[in-house]
Chain A
Amino acid sequence: MRSLKVVYSGFRMNLKMLGTSSFFLLTSVVQPVIFATIAFYMFRAGSRNGTLLYAALGAGMMGVWSTTLFGSGGMIQWQRWQGTLELGAAAPPAMALIYLPFSLANAFTGMYAMAATLVWGRLVFGIGLHLAHPWLFVLALPATVIALGLMGLVLASTFILYRHANALSNLLEYPVWIASGLVFSTSLLPVWTRPISWALPPYWGILAIRHAALGGGVWGPLAMVALLGVAALVISTLTFRWFEHAARARATLSLT
């Protein structure tokens, strides 16, 4: 019960903080719309109008990933700058539990991206929003967002030791978009990249969302999303404990 309270309070507080950040507004709303616009024009120019909903969903997921990535990348660093990281580390609950709601809030903010690209696509490009399995879509989207939030928690834990978090964030944005096949099929990629794609929650997440919207099997990809989400939670619990201990031992926790 106490853990749920920690998650709820942290989630609410971080959501409020993100709501005041113009950078997050840019990442979660403006940037996905920009990428969606480019994708729409590219598909139209290539006479592939039928794939515009496919592009809108992919661009939305790109925004979810960017928000999670930059949110998780910045989460530990911002706490450092604000001088609250030590308080988080010293609090009685496990550090992973303290930062879990922050990561979930980051990913939740990413859902704005999906809404923004779908609304933009509908209003400007006249894309029809006829979902093949609307209820499964409603299930697949939050499940994917939660899994991405948990993946973000793993990333955030590494940033306790790795202080140049923004660099890793910049490095991982396009590669995960590519490896997850968010706006194109991963069959275009070399075969050796397949295991990388399979290990990424966004890969299964976009499959689940796409199949729910356009038709196809949803439960298989959704099960993989859940499995990878649980795996990320377990890994992040361990890595948070490990990296926190290492940072305490080296006295580098608050070094900027």
Chain B
Amino acid sequence: MKTWFRVFFVGGAISFRALFAWIRPWVYIPTLCVGPTTQVLFFAFLGRTAHLEDDSWFVVGNAVQSASLAALFGMGFAIDGERWMQTLSAVLATPANRSALFLGRTLPVLLNASVSAGTGFVGGALFLGFRPPLSALPGLAFLVVLGAFACTGLGMLSAAVGLRMRDVPIIANLTMAVLLIFCGVNVPLDKLPQWMHVAAEGLPLTHAIAAARRVADGASLSSVSTSVAVEAALGLAYLAAGFVLLRVFEEQGRRTGSLERA
């Protein structure tokens, strides 16, 4: 058990640090700290033009959604980066417990995605006067982490797909786009076609965003417990699916000798 925790925490942390061997602060700050704010501003101004919702509606939706950038790319590159650095075979040749090995990579990504999404709220507060009640802040923070968790689960799944399809940035970009359109980030769900509305129910972020908007309006966290439970269940489901798929593709990669084929 001690080894499991060592691989989970130390292995995950080292993998994340390795990510920053090439994603340096000069990449990190503009992309993950400034990016969410500019996204929030863009859609808030577009929302004003469309006469759709008020600024805070867009601040919450886009700030929470911006967690997907760090989560999807972070998880994707945590696996794909190993292949580019030609360390994937070495990592997979170890007898380390696979749940510790792969799940350990999710924790730093989850924390990073939460921080990145948090900057979107700060940007909204600074530039658009977003002022939720102080009592709502812990609940909002929790929902941001929850949304980031569900996205990290989806990131695990897309990272697994990346073992076969190789083009992780394309997969991550397309997945982010799907979340941006479907999850009620900028268009109320009831204004989307019915099939999109139905699909959104099974995607990460939809429920976290809906809950965050209610909490930002003053509702208590307990009043959105159903959304919280659904979001958590979706996150777990995606994480489990991603983990299983990683194992399957790892096995296939070993058999066909295609692990290092970039």
Which A residues fall within an 8 A CB radius of B?
22-23, 26, 30-31, 34, 37-39, 41-48, 51, 164, 166-168, 170-171, 173-175, 177-178, 183-185, 188-189
> Are B38 and A184 in contact (CB-based, < 8 A)?
no
In the bound complex, residues from chain B placing their C-beta under 8 Å from that of A177 are 42
Name the 8 nearest CB pairs between A and B, nearest first.
A174-B38, A171-B30, A46-B50, A45-B191, A184-B49, A46-B51, A167-B27, A42-B50
> Are A42 and B31 in contact (CB-based, < 8 A)?
no
In the bound complex, residues from chain B placing their C-beta under 8 Å from that of A45 are 50, 52, 187-188, 191
Q: A118 to B41: give the CA distance in the assembly, Å.
A: 25
> Are A166 and B27 in contact (CB-based, < 8 A)?
yes
Which B residues fall within an 8 A CB radius of A?
24, 26-27, 29-31, 34-35, 38-39, 41-42, 45-52, 167, 169-170, 173-174, 177, 180-181, 186-188, 191-192
> Are A184 and B27 in contact (CB-based, < 8 A)?
no
In the bound complex, residues from chain A placing their C-beta under 8 Å from that of B29 are 167
Q: A41-B192, A42-B186, A167-B27 are in contact. Are A174 and B39 (CB under 8 A)?
A: yes
Can you list 28 A-B contacts (CB < 8 A)?
A26-B173, A30-B174, A37-B181, A41-B187, A41-B191, A42-B187, A43-B49, A44-B191, A45-B50, A45-B52, A45-B188, A46-B50, A48-B50, A48-B51, A51-B49, A164-B27, A167-B26, A168-B30, A170-B30, A171-B30, A171-B35, A177-B42, A178-B38, A178-B45, A183-B49, A184-B45, A185-B49, A188-B48
In the bound complex, residues from chain A placing their C-beta under 8 Å from that of B34 are 171
Q: Would you give the shortest CB distance from B68 to chain A, in whole angstroms? A: 14
Q: Is the interface of A mostly helix, strand, loop or mixed?
A: helix
> Are B47 and A42 in contact (CB-based, < 8 A)?
yes
> Are B46 and A26 in contact (CB-based, < 8 A)?
no
Q: Would you give the shortest CB distance from B115 to chain A, in whole angstroms? A: 17
> Are A42 and B52 in contact (CB-based, < 8 A)?
yes
In the bound complex, residues from chain B placing their C-beta under 8 Å from that of A175 are 38
Contact of A171 among B24, B31, B46, B49 (CB under 8 A): B31
In the bound complex, residues from chain B placing their C-beta under 8 Å from that of A30 are 174, 177
Q: A170-B31, A174-B35 are in contact. Are A184 and B46 (CB under 8 A)?
A: yes
In the bound complex, residues from chain A placing their C-beta under 8 Å from that of B51 are 46-48
Q: Would you give the shortest CB distance from B162 to chain A, in whole angstroms? A: 13
> Are A42 and B46 in contact (CB-based, < 8 A)?
yes
Q: A31-B177, A34-B180, A44-B191 are in contact. Are A188 and B49 (CB under 8 A)?
A: yes
Q: A177 to B48: give the CA distance in the assembly, Å.
A: 15
Q: A176 to B188: give the CA distance in the assembly, Å.
A: 26
> Are B26 and A164 in contact (CB-based, < 8 A)?
yes
Q: A22-B167, A184-B49 are in contact. Are A174 and B41 (CB under 8 A)?
A: yes
In the bound complex, residues from chain B placing their C-beta under 8 Å from that of A23 are 169-170
Q: Would you give the shortest CB distance from B53 to chain A, in whole angstroms? A: 9
Q: Would you give the shortest CB distance from A241 to chain B, in whole angstroms? A: 25
> Are B31 and A178 in contact (CB-based, < 8 A)?
no
Q: Would you give the shortest CB distance from A27 to chain B, in whole angstroms? A: 9
Q: A114 to B181: give the CA distance in the assembly, Å.
A: 20
In the bound complex, residues from chain A placing their C-beta under 8 Å from that of B180 are 34, 38
Contact of B42 among A31, A47, A178 (CB under 8 A): A178
Q: A238 to B42: give the CA distance in the assembly, Å.
A: 33
> Are A178 and B52 in contact (CB-based, < 8 A)?
no
In the bound complex, residues from chain A placing their C-beta under 8 Å from that of B38 are 173-175, 178
